Structures are given as C-alpha cells and as structure tokens.
C-alpha cells in the first residue's frame, strides 16, 4: 500500500484577517505554525517512509512543510517547489475582506466566486502591487503563465497536468504535498472523481493532513483526515 498526504497550509495572517489571499505571499499566523507542528506529529505517528515532498511557491505552504518536517525529524533538502500548486488567483478580490465584499456584492455572488467551478472574479489590474507580476518570488515564471484571475477550473487546469507529470508516478514511494485550499480541492476533484457541481461542497481545513491510500496499481482505496476533530466531509468518491 502507498500513500499521498495532502496538507493545506496552516492558518495564514490573511486567513486570520478573513481576506482573499490567492497568489499574495503572506506569512503563517501563530495558530498556523501550531497547526503545522501538530500536523507533523500526526503524520509522524503513521511511521511511514515518505520519499517525496512538494510545495507551492508560496511561503505559507513552504513554511508549513518545513515545520512538519522538523517535527517529523526529516531533512527538507528534497523539497520540490512548484508554482503550479499555488492557491487560486482571486483577481480583483485579492486583498479584500470577505465579509465586507459579501455586504457589497451579496452573499450569493461571493459564494459563486469562492465555490463555483468555472466563474472567476474580475481580473486584477497588472499595476496592482498584489498582482503576481509585481511579487518577487514569481520573477522566474513565464509572464504568459501568470494569471490576472482564476476560476477553480483554471486552477485545476494547471494543478492536474503538473500532478500527472511530476507526482502521480511517485505515489508508490509515498508523497507529501503542502499546498492550498483550492489547489488541494483540484487534486481531490481529480482523485475522487468529483463532479463540477459537487466540488462546490468540498472544504479543506487548514493544517489537517488528508491521507490517501492506494493499491499497487495506484488505485485509490481510502481517504481520511488525521485530526478527526477538525475533519471535513470528503463527499463520496469512486
């Protein structure tokens, strides 16, 4: 049996402030650091030999993985960072408070922007300091690959090709990915074969390891959260 462990980064400073974050590179909040350490403890209890580690380009995911590995007493010199695993780009909503935008635009519209499959927010102006073009960590990404906004479908369309090419074949050797709510939702949609409508119901909690078990043919057998008190409904998967 082989394993894929998916971990959404611990609570970030902008999670705490209830702001749309997307590709902005924010730090973990103190609670997020504790969540990451607890995640490491829970994974350590599995006594698995994990051979491959991936994270997004964003420091909240990188730091979460680093804290987990320190807790697990594993050297982190094998971590692969991929911008394709970044959070979804929230376009013109980036940096804004979610509750304030609900009051301004209405709960239904914000729900569509947050949970729908293929409806992105308005694009973020390229001159905005929160645009990825103006963030240092993305300077080596081809400009034509950097989005102005994204739907979940757009996120899926970069996450899944990267996963198929670089990660899926390594699952037999056990893999851990530290990423984000929507990049992990994209992976779950693919791995659980969740429909475009049903994916809107899937939520991913911060800092709670989701462990997927596969047979020798990389067929998914089971999936569960390690912290049962903070687990979310995984829906039915095939």
Which residue ranges make up each domain of the chain? 2-89+155-230
Task: Take residue 18 and report the two structure tokens written for it.
Answer: 């209830």
- Tell me: pLDDT of 204 over 90: yes
Quote the pLDDT of residue 77: 74
Q: Give the pLDDT of residue 184.
A: 98
Q: Residue 199 in contact with residue 26, Cβ under 8 Å? A: no
Judge whether residue 230 has pLDDT over 90: no
Which band of pLDDT confidence, cut at 50, 70 and 90, is reported for residue 236? low
Q: For residue 78, what are the CA distances in angstroms to 55, 66, 69, 74, 75?
A: 11, 11, 11, 10, 8
Query: Average pLDDT over the chain, rounded to whole?
Result: 94
Q: Which residue in 35, 84, 87, 150 is the catalytic one?
A: 87
110 closest CA partner among 118, 126, 99: 99
- Quote the pLDDT of residue 221: 94
**Is position 89 annotated as part of the catalytic site?**
no
Whole-number pLDDT of residue 238: 42
Query: Can you read off the two tokens belonging to residue 205?
Result: 């909690």
* Residue pLDDT, tens place only, 113-150: 887 899 999 999 999 999 999 999 999 999 999 999 99
C-alpha span between 141 and 30 (Å, rounded)? 30
Nearest to 83 by CA among 40, 117, 54: 54
Q: Exactly one of 3, 9, 131, 180 is catalytic; which is it?
A: 9
Which CATH number is associated with domain 2-89+155-230?
Answer: 3.40.50.1240
Q: Is 180 a catalytic residue?
A: no
Alpha carbon distance 186, 220 (integer Å)? 16
CA distance 157 to 238: 21
pLDDT-derived band at 112 (thresholds 50, 70, 90) equals confident
Q: What CA–CA distance (Å, rounded) separates 125 from 135?
A: 14
pTM of the complete model: 0.95
């Amino acid at each position: 049996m082989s394993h894929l462990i998916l971990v959404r980064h611990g609570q970030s400073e902008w999670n705490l402030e209830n702001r749309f974050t997307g590709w902005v590179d924010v730090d973990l909040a103190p609670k997020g650091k504790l969540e990451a350490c607890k995640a490491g403890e829970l994974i350590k209890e599995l006594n698995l030999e994990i051979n491959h580690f991936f994270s997004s380009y964003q420091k909240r995911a990188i730091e979460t993985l680093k804290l987990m590995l320190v807790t697990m007493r594993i050297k982190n010199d094998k971590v692969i960072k991929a911008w394709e695993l970044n959070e979804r780009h929230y376009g013109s909503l980036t940096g804004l408070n979610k509750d304030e935008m609900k009051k301004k635009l209405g709960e239904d519209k914000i729900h569509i922007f947050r949970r729908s499959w293929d409806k992105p927010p308005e694009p973020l102006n390229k001159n905005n300091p929160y645009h990825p073009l103006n963030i240092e960590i993305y300077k080596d990404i081809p400009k034509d690959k950097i989005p102005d906004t994204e739907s979940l479908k757009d996120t899926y369309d970069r996450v899944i090709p990267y996963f198929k090419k670089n990660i899926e074949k390594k699952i037999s050797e056990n893999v851990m990915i530290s990423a984000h709510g929507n990049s992990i939702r994209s992976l779950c949609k693919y791995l659980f074969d969740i429909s475009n409508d049903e994916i809107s119901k899937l939520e991913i909690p911060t800092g709670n390891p989701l462990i997927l078990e596969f047979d020798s043919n990389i067929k998914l057998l089971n999936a569960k959260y390690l912290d049962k008190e903070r687990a979310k409904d995984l829906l039915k998967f095939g």
